[in-house]
Amino acid sequence: MLKREMEEHDGRRPQPLVVLTSSPFHGHMTPTLQLATTLHANGFPIAIAHSNLNPPNPSNHPSDFTFLPLSDNLSAVEGTGGFAKFINTLNNNCKGSFKEHLTRLVNEGNKSIVVIYDNIMYFAGVVADDLNLPRIMFRTTSAAFIPALLLRQQVRQHGRFLEEDFVMQEVVPNQNLLRYKDLPFSKTPIEDWKQNVANYSQQAHPSALICNTIKFLEHESLTQVHNMLQVPVFAVGPLHKLAPNLSSGSCQEDTSCITWLDKQPPKSVVYISFGSLATMETKMLIEMAWGLAKSNQRFLWVVRPGSVSGSEWLELLPEGFIEETRERGFIVKWAPQKEVLAHFAVGGFWSHCGWNSCLESISSGVVMICQPFIVDQMVNARYVSYVWKIGLELEWVERGEVERMIRRVMVDEEGVEMRVRVNDMKEMVKEAVGDDGSSQKSLEDLVDFILSC
Ligand code: UDP
């Protein structure tokens, strides 16, 4: 029995009900549910207030989890007019039903309730504040992304809209790291973006912040974030290591790729996946395919249905590609990614650099080829390639460049050196989540913080 559970059974400390919000995005929902599982293991009763779009599957969770559906009235991310509008609609639509749920829980006699909300579901912080309940923000991104958001805002307020600008390659003045191109600019119409900023700025100030990151990895950024927010910051990552048995369950994993990997030599396979959201044009798919073929390396490729504009699945792959690579390639719709990255045969990860993917790659000691698409992925890619030096940045997707990149990572001395570094980091992750490690210590501090609320 865990320490917290024993205390509860002793009757010494009543555990507050922890209400977490779960957003419709896979990359947000998974760490939220991992956090819920971790807190549950520490004795807290858990309720999950979730969007009805991509809801969590209750059967993957302990039977005493409570699920609170929110009336989001959303049917898909697409069709709502882009990401910024989607976030606005999500927040406007969910607020009422969240307030009803919380009010009911209070009226039912739940004396102490603590709300932990995904930062993109900021309505929950506002509602908790209205009801005078403690509210803890949860960031599923890297800590470094938080100041990068502020930097983007400053650049935009100075009238710079740089998407087409040649200065994109330049380092932002007074920064020694991030270039303009690393900042999360988007194609969002400026009015929607302004509305988003206005909404965010009306958020309730959180009582504390939880980050799915690790102190040794982001020490400076965590200090910066703490200085920005002036509230306790808990770095409890990587959460997939604290809740390793949780099945995310929302996508059907094709485990036949593990059987295929079992037959490949050690560190010989490049794993390619761009997460749950990234989409690309056909031209990119074709250049990727021929680059892979020309590199002559083994590969496991996740081609998510719908990820290529206008296609069902593989029909837009260039003619002859499948035949040419049949002996050394395997394609699936969705892989058991953590298992894949931990597999002895995998030697590199060509990734969009979503934060979960970065954490999973580092935890498994796998070097990366970074091809960021949107939001926080550019900042993550910059850290992977330029700060931690455990990956290379693929600047443009052209078959010759793809071939060179894969060979640099999989075959050349450069790849060997990066692998040494990432293996050191893998060991440091193990220490961080082990007894007395920094993430375990932060988790204990978080538990104490929740109890003290
Ligand atoms: N993932 C997976 N199988 C796949 C592709 C992705 O299990 O074939 C998981 C991956 O392990 C990670 C998540 O989906 O936990 C993707 O999150 P990330 O933050 O990397 O990217 P996002 O999907 O948010 O863009």
What is the mean predicted confidence (pLDDT) over 7-18?
68
Q: Strand locations in 193-285, DSSP E?
A: 208-211, 233-235, 269-273
Contact 145 CB / ligand 1 (< 6 Å): no
Q: 276 CB under 6 A from ligand 1?
A: yes
Q: Domain residue spans in the chain? A: 6-248+435-452, 256-430
In this structure, what are the phi and psi dihedrals at residue 115, rounded to the nearest 5 degrees? -100, 130
Mean pLDDT of 65-94: 83
Cα gap 90→27, rounded to integer Å: 16
Taking the C-alpha atoms of residue 340 and residue 300, their distance in angstroms, rounded to an integer, is: 9
What is the C-alpha R_g of the chain?
22
Report which ligand 1 atom has the smallest distance to the Cα of 338. Answer: 11
End-to-end CA distance of the chain: 24
| 354 ligand 1 Cβ < 6 A | yes
Asked if residue 307 has its Cβ within 6 Å of ligand 1, the reply is no
How many whole angstroms from 27 Cα to the centroid of ligand 1? Answer: 6
* Ligand 1: residue whose CA is nearest its atom 6: 275
Atom of ligand 1 nearest to the CA of 31: 15
Name residue 318's amino acid. P
242 Cα: distance to centroid of ligand 1 (angstroms): 17
How many A from CA of 157 to the centre of ligand 1? 33
* Residue 272: exposure state from Cβ atoms within 10 A (0-12, 13-18, ≥19): buried
Least-confidence region, from 27-36, 180-189, 318-327: 180-189
Name the band, by pLDDT with cuts 50, 70 and 90, for residue 161: low
How many angstroms does the Cα of residue 72 sit away from the middle of ligand 1?
23
| CATH dotted code for 6-248+435-452 | 3.40.50.2000
Q: Residue 68: what pLDDT? A: 97
Are 6-248+435-452 and 256-430 the same fold in CATH? yes
Average pLDDT for residues 227-254, to the nearest whole number?
89
For residue 376 and ligand 1, the question of a CB distance below 6 A is answered with no
Does residue 133 carry a pLDDT above 90?
A: yes
Residue 57 CA to residue 251 CA, distance in Å, equals 11
Q: How far is CA 284 from CA 81, 122, 250, 280, 375, in A?
A: 24, 35, 27, 6, 19
CA of 112 to the centre of ligand 1 (A): 34
337 lines ligand 1 (CB under 6 A): yes
Q: How far apart are CA 124 and CA 140, in angstroms?
A: 16
Atom of ligand 1 nearest to the CA of 302: 8
Predicted local distance difference test score (pLDDT) of residue 353? 98
pLDDT digits (tens, 9 = 90+) for 368-410: 999 999 889 999 999 999 999 999 999 999 999 999 999 999 9
pLDDT in tens, 274-291: 999 999 999 999 999 999
d(CA 292, CA 295) in angstroms, rounded, equals 5
Given a contact cutoff of 8 angstroms between Cβ atoms, the answer to whether 234 and 215 are in contact is: no
Indicate whether 436 pLDDT > 80. yes
Position in ligand 1 atom list of the atom nearest CA 304: 8
Ligand 1 centre to CA of 52 (Å) is 20
| Residue-level pLDDT at 150 | 84
By most ligand atoms within 8 Å of CB, the mutation choice from 22, 23, 26 for ligand 1 is 26
Percent of the chain with pLDDT over 70: 89
448-452-453 Cα angle (round to 5):
120
Candidate from 356, 361, 384 with most ligand 1 atoms within 8 A of CB, to mutate: 356
For residue 348, the number of C-alpha atoms closer than 13 Å in the C-beta half-sphere is 27
Going by DSSP bridges, is the β-strand pair 135-139/208-211 parallel, antiparallel, or unpaired?
Answer: parallel
Cα(376) to ligand 1 centroid in Å equals 14
* 87: its two tokens: 């976030």
Cα(352) to ligand 1 centroid in Å equals 10
Average pLDDT over residues 102-127: 93
Ligand 1 binding pocket includes 304 (Cβ within 6 Å): no
Whole-number Å distance, alpha carbon 275 to ligand 1 midpoint, is 4
Among 273, 277, 307, 363, residue to substitute to test ligand 1 (most atoms within 8 Å of Cβ): 273
Architecture per CATH, domain 256-430, reads as 3-Layer(aba) Sandwich (3.40)
Going from the Cα of 380 to the center of ligand 1, the distance in angstroms, rounded, reads 14
